[in-house]
Amino acid sequence: MNRWGYMSELVGQYNATAAAERPECVLVAGEDIVLLRNALAHGIAISASPAPPLRLLKFGKPSTTTGRVRVDFVADMATGQFSNFWRVLEQYD
């Protein structure tokens, strides 16, 4: 069955099922994967030069009263850090 859902909810549902049936398949970095995925999908990468390190930023919704925007995620990413994230993600591929 296919149905729409937030990735964080889907990872939680998957982990609940996997924990009961195949504990070795539980996504131990599930929350980290969701944070990184959201930052990559909805954020922006900036840099003073075209090469790493990059600063990855994800902003929240603007306040309707002040117009200010909260930073939900920020990470300074060197080439090695991106490689480490991909290795984490690949173990679940």
Q: How far apart are CA 31 and CA 8, in angstroms?
A: 7
Q: Report which of 44, 15, 48 is spatially closest to residue 29, judged by C-alpha positions.
A: 15
- Residue 64, pLDDT score: 92
1 part of a folded domain: no
Question: Is residue 63 a part of any domain in this protein?
Answer: yes
Q: Is the pLDDT of residue 33 over 90?
A: no
Average pLDDT, stretch 6-14?
82
Say what the pLDDT of residue 4 is.
Answer: 74
Judged against a pLDDT cut of 90, whether residue 53 lies above it is answered with no
Domain extent for 80: 7-90
User: In which order are the strands placed within the sheet that holds 69-77?
Assistant: 44-46, 54-62, 69-77
pLDDT over threshold 90, residue 86? no
Asked, for residue 16, whether it belongs to a domain, the answer is yes
User: Which carries the bigger pLDDT value, residue 67 or residue 34?
Assistant: 67
Does this model's pTM top 0.75? My answer is no
- Check whether the bond before 53 is cis (ω within 30° of 0): yes
Q: Is there a domain that residue 12 lies in?
A: yes
Task: Please count the structural domains in the chain.
Answer: 1
N- to C-terminal Cα distance for the chain?
A: 20
Tokens 């080439």, residue located: 79
pLDDT band at 16 (very low <50, low <70, confident <90, very high): confident
Question: Would you say residue 2 lies in a domain?
Answer: no
